[in-house]
Structure 1
Amino acid sequence: MNTNDTPVEISEISEQRFNAFVVWARGAGPLVPTKEVAWLEIRPAKVLGVLFVDLTDRELHSCVLAPDLSGRYRGVRLLGPHADVRAAVNATAEAMANVHAEYDNSRTQGDETPSENFFRVASSEDRLHVRFKYLRDQTSAVAARRLIEVAMRWYENQDGTFVEQFQTTAFDARVWELYVWALMREAGLRVEQPKPAPDFLARGVFGDFYVEATTANPPPAHSVPVPPETADELFDYAHNYLPTRFSGPLVAKLRKRYWERTGARKIPFVIAVQDFHQDLSMTWSQPALYEYLYGVRIEDVERDGVVRQVEVPVGTLKWGTKELESGFFKLPDSERISAVIFNAAGTLSKFNRMGIAAGMGESSLLAFHRGSRYAEDNSGEVVPFSQQVGEGYEERWIDGTTVFHNPRALYPLPPEALPGAAHVSERAGMREQSSPAGHLVTSTTSLVLPQG
């Protein structure tokens, strides 16, 4: 027992900072409807506290959390019901101080299992991915690294290859997988990692569903297309080449026939896909994914001086010697795929912004998030934005996520399962998109470290 009689400072913190440490543990227990109202901390995240209302009986409770001996934040004291917020804060602060005073005894759970370390030496230096070395070594990536170090304590290395691939040949794909896991945790889902596949089984109040993550990766060096210059080349590139980048990973997952595996149930199956085939490619690949999934493209047509957007059917995609059928949701067996998830912002930059907003970054680093999003007034207008990222900056894991629903799905995914995402669905043979106010369309992140 390491009793410590030194007074401790307990401060109120943002939900964003609290979630940076705790979101990974969410959903691990019963799905009790609650609403959190305040968050407390003994820095640096030694002990955390949360006040919440049990929505079933409207009573105010609180919980004290600390990292167990494997580094996973877990509840160590459950308090309440409290008479009011002041009483709840006082009781929670006192319990937090007591936990801190007998820290090792208080946080020991007795059932700890070894946790993963994504940064342990798993490969020779010459094989390391350039972006892994950036994450590991650079000051500008400190926030992402610290956030991932917390998350990895909860992550399961399903097939035993995650760490090695995270460091070498599949860094981007593994970051995307972590991102998908994070957005489901944030959505209040209990997330299991079946062995050996698919990647996730999400359980929530609107039902269960499987998720398999995949990526569009760079083509062989001899197949990299020449950047388009003319209007015709740009059209061909956008409407033929880019959609083909999604066909490979999506069809490959379809052919896995996960629904036939032992233990698979008749529940929705979702593919989460990201585009890493070229630097910054994910910033303009969503329209291409839309075209490939539904077999239609949207064109501007002028009639009587008015420009309208209309859907034009696309039967075949042709790029060089490659020719394939458009319309993934029309392929044989595709009715087994309930939806496809995409988010151009689901990259390492997202982890960095979320970490900076949670106070995990280098204090001298300046970060700016710029791009376009739907207006907050629900007008549907796309407007530019520019924000400095720091403590007080708000962003959620699901921001920028679009769910493309399969109109032929045998087991449709309820849109309510992923609140906060944009949803594309079909009605009367036409596609329509519902997007939350402020939905992220495109964005970039700029990082500046002072010289000297």
Structure 2
Amino acid sequence: MDEVIVKRLDIKRFNALAAQSRSPAAAYMSEELEWYADDSEVVLGIVLRDTVDDDFVGILLGRDEGDRFRAFDVQASIETLEEARTWVQGGIRWHASTGNTAFPQGDETKGLDLFTPVVSIAKQHPFFSKLSREDSFIPAKTIINELMPHFVDVDGNFIEQFQSSGFDARLWELYLNTYFNEEQLFFDREHHAPDFLVEKYGHKVAVEAVIVGRKNENPALLLQKEPKLLHPSEIAEKHKNEMPIKFGSPLYSKLKKEYWMLEHVKDNPLVFAIADFHDDQSMQWSSNALINYLYGVKHEFTRDKDGKLIISALKIEKHQEGDKVIPSGYFFQPDAENISAVLFSATGTISKFNRIGRQAGFGPDNIIMHRFGTCHDHDPNASLPKQFAYQVTTDSNETWSEGLSMFHNPNAKHPVPEVLFPSIAHHYFDNGQIISHLPEFHPYSSMTINMKIAP
């Protein structure tokens, strides 16, 4: 019998394999220190410090009947770190040497298989086809396959929609689910609406996912279209009316659903999480239009005689495109006081799944991935974002939260406690000005280039 090799795992690799199994309650009483696996990653191990008793714990995890990594052996009250490390490594060697690849837990629940086709090729969304077949998306496909055994399909049609016309909306929902898990929130997915009910520190928040969708066009033509690069003047023009109306339509429709009347939502914050998929790469430039529409103001930047930045807020009354007219200031409309905040990201796309999969070590070595974009400049006198660029490798440290912004409603009946979402950007409206609490690195937009190197 070959000797079992135990290797040290990077936290990013461990999280890609098993983060969905981690209970949010663990953070209250323990601190993870080290992560291990056998060479084939059949058995995983964690060394923790018990922060209550100040001793150590070892945990072994293996795949259950539903292909989820779950704990099947635990040793507590270990006196030293070295003893805990020895117990974990020894346990990995023993269990991996048995040849077992599954560790049943009496739970026959199977996860979702997103990539076995359930719709005809003619009806498959072209981006699903790319994701499921192209080598350059193997990192994303691999990490999604690790996520799906844990995902709860409340409506029962997630697979069919992900493979066809609902690809964008379902990808956004999957992204949000993964972010909430990273934020170590407790989930309640027993209800059909809203999409999520998350809880921590005695607070509950309901979240409904919504997108700005594509026009009714032939999906087969999407991959044949050349992405249109807009001039800054074209973007500025779209920000005035076209994009606020595009954001306003789904947000207004969701407002009319009156989710706050549901018993499981009543008296709790309600958040709409929106992403812009109306056109390829449109989310790269549309976020300012959302801000203008939510608060009913636009901001102009000038400098005084000393070069100091001066920000002026100008009120917007309405947005009009052709015969369609909507009032500006979503948070100031009737019933909008029941909406606590709007969550938005320009980076919750398949490229994020691909990058996080890549930094976890998934995908062939001949795929080279480069990311570039703009991020917040924390210089208080800066009027433009900074640029960034890097190659995505196992040394990268992107998080699911990176790029998310929560825009808080100044009139909310039930404000969202920022402590529940500490990893993201938070924006507040005060006397016509937006006050932002931003992470050290906060990207506004980015693009990812995949290159396949010929052997």
Distance 1:176-1:72 versus aligned 2 partners, 3 A rule? same
Q: What's 1:174 paired with?
A: 170
Rounded to whole Å, the distance in 1 between the matches of 2:166 and 2:77 is 48
C-alpha contact (below 8 Å) 1:402/1:424 kept by paired residues? yes
Rounded to whole Å, the distance in 2 between the matches of 1:265 and 1:204 is 17
Q: What's 1:403 paired with?
A: 406
Rounded to whole Å, the distance in 2 between the matches of 1:31 and 1:38 is 15
Percent of matched pairs sharing the same residue: 30
Task: Give yes or no for the alignment of 1:372 onto 2:357.
Answer: no
Q: What's 1:8 paired with?
A: 4
Rounded to whole Å, the distance in 2 between the matches of 1:379 and 1:60 is 48
1:174 CA drift (Å): 0.7
Rounded to whole Å, the distance in 1 between the matches of 2:73 and 2:165 is 43
Unmatched 5+ stretches in structure 2: 219-227
Letter in 1 for 2:271: V
| 2:446 maps to which of 425, 437, 443 | 443
Q: What's 1:37 paired with?
A: 33
State the Cα deviation string for residues 142-182 of structure 1 (Å, max 9, x = none): 01001001101111111111110000001111111111111
Letter in 1 for 2:287: Q
State the Cα deviation string for residues 90-110 of structure 1 (Å, max 9, x = none): 110111222223454971101
1:449 CA drift (Å): 0.3
Rounded to whole Å, the distance in 1 between the matches of 2:6 and 2:377 is 38
CA RMSD after TM alignment: 2.4
Query: What pairs with 1:262-301 in structure 2 (closer than 5 Å)?
Result: 262-301=263-302
Q: What's 2:247 paired with?
A: 246
Task: Give yes or no for the alignment of 1:27 onto 2:23.
Answer: yes
| 2:105 maps to which of 86, 105, 109 | 109
Q: What's 2:115 paired with?
A: 119
Deviates more, 1:292-301 or 1:275-284: 292-301
Partner SS for 2:279:
coil
State the Cα deviation string for residues 385-418 of structure 1 (Å, max 9, x = none): 2211111211110011111111111111111111
Q: What's 1:347 paired with?
A: 349
Query: What pairs with 1:48-127 in structure 2 (closer than 5 Å)?
Result: 48-102=44-98, 104=100, 107-127=103-123
Partner SS for 1:153:
helix
Letter in 2 for 1:125: I
1:19 CA drift (Å): 0.4
How many residues were matched structurally? 444
State the Cα deviation string for residues 296-338 of structure 1 (Å, max 9, x = none): 1111235547452211111101122211011111111111111
Query: What pairs with 1:414-433 in structure 2 (closer than 5 Å)?
Result: 414-433=417-436
C-alpha contact (below 8 Å) 1:159/1:195 kept by paired residues? no
State the Cα deviation string for residues 115-164 of structure 1 (Å, max 9, x = none): 21111221111000000000110000001001001101111111111110
Rounded to whole Å, the distance in 2 between the matches of 1:443 and 1:64 is 38
Partner SS for 1:198:
coil
Distance 1:60-1:30 versus aligned 2 partners, 3 A rule? closer
Task: Give yes or no for the alignment of 1:135 onto 2:138.
Answer: no
Letter in 2 for 1:98: W
Q: What's 2:212 paired with?
A: 216
State the Cα deviation string for residues 28-77 of structure 1 (Å, max 9, x = none): 76663432111111233311111222333332212111110110111111
1:258 CA drift (Å): 1.1
Distance 1:282-1:228 versus aligned 2 partners, 3 A rule? closer
Q: What's 2:320 paired with?
A: 318
Letter in 1 for 2:32: E
Partner SS for 1:194:
coil
Letter in 2 for 1:97: R
Distance 1:363-1:192 versus aligned 2 partners, 3 A rule? farther
Rounded to whole Å, the distance in 1 between the matches of 2:404 and 2:242 is 23
Letter in 1 for 2:363: G
User: How high is the TM-score relative to the length of structure 1?
Assistant: 0.92
Rounded to whole Å, the distance in 2 between the matches of 1:121 and 1:229 is 40
C-alpha contact (below 8 Å) 1:181/1:191 kept by paired residues? no
Letter in 1 for 2:329: G
Rounded to whole Å, the distance in 2 between the matches of 1:145 and 1:419 is 28
| 1:46 maps to which of 42, 49, 53 | 42
1:229 CA drift (Å): 6.6
C-alpha contact (below 8 Å) 1:27/1:191 kept by paired residues? no
Q: What's 1:356 paired with?
A: 358
Rounded to whole Å, the distance in 1 between the matches of 2:50 and 2:334 is 46
Letter in 2 for 1:63: I
User: How high is the TM-score relative to the length of structure 2?
Assistant: 0.91
Q: What's 1:194 paired with?
A: 190
Deviates more, 1:190-199 or 1:103-112: 103-112
C-alpha contact (below 8 Å) 1:26/1:190 kept by paired residues? no
Rounded to whole Å, the distance in 2 between the matches of 1:288 and 1:101 is 58
Distance 1:244-1:432 versus aligned 2 partners, 3 A rule? same
1:234 CA drift (Å): 4.7
Distance 1:34-1:377 versus aligned 2 partners, 3 A rule? farther
1:192 CA drift (Å): 2.5
